[in-house]
Amino acid sequence: MEIAASSVYPDLNTGPRIPMPMEISAAFIARILKPYRENAKYLKSACILDYFEPSCGQEGSKDHNELVTIEGSFTIPESCYIDDTGHFNAVEFNICFNQLAYVLFGKCIQSGIFHRIVFDWEQRVNLSYESFLRYQLSSMFIAKIEGNFFRPLDSKNFKARLTIHRIMWTAQTAFVYTKISYQDERAGRSKGAVLLAFRTVNGL
């Protein structure tokens, strides 16, 4: 049975709202990207822009479901799997999403953001930041991905914005509905939607 995550029922005992935006250190990103081969570490910087916390009287987005948003800067000097195609492609779309999503989840767990936007987080997800690092690759996987490419994007220098819109629970798995968009300085553009499955530590 699916249960709507408390995207709208935050934990009320978490203290003052976490200041935003939240820059993420290069050391933090490096730790999250440790499982990747050196030539596949595309994410260079990241910043959590905002999160939605009704308990602080915060105005939500117009559809009230933008739970947390992160922006990242990427560079792909050369593809890790193929000769240079001259443009951003579907495989890189997937890899860059993964890297930004890992960083977002890691930081939201470490900083306590998930405690504020997901009801009963500690009871549902018995997962510390150190445990997340240990189970990072096995606890998160893509259930569905859709990418759209509107104009060729320069893979040497571009940004991405990833937003969690909704979380649904079934047993020990959270299904996380996200949207991501990529853009470069020359109006290259791609965007899509990704359904993430996130297994809690009890389900590992």
> Residue 12 region, left (φ>0) first, then alpha (ψ -120 to 50), else beta?
alpha
Average pLDDT, integer, range 170-193? 93
Sorted by sequence, the CB contacts under 8 Å of residue 34 that are 6+ apart come out as none
CATH code of residue 170: 3.10.129.30
Which of 32-36, 50-54, 170-174, 198-202 holds the top average pLDDT?
32-36
Total domains in the chain come to 1
| 111 has a pLDDT exceeding 90 | yes
| 159 has a pLDDT exceeding 80 | yes
Average pLDDT, the chain: 85
> What is the extent of the structural domain holding 184?
3-203
Per-residue pLDDT reduced to its tens digit, 66-107: 999 999 999 998 888 777 766 688 999 999 999 999 999 999
So what's the pLDDT on residue 171?
Answer: 77
So what's the pLDDT on residue 128?
Answer: 86
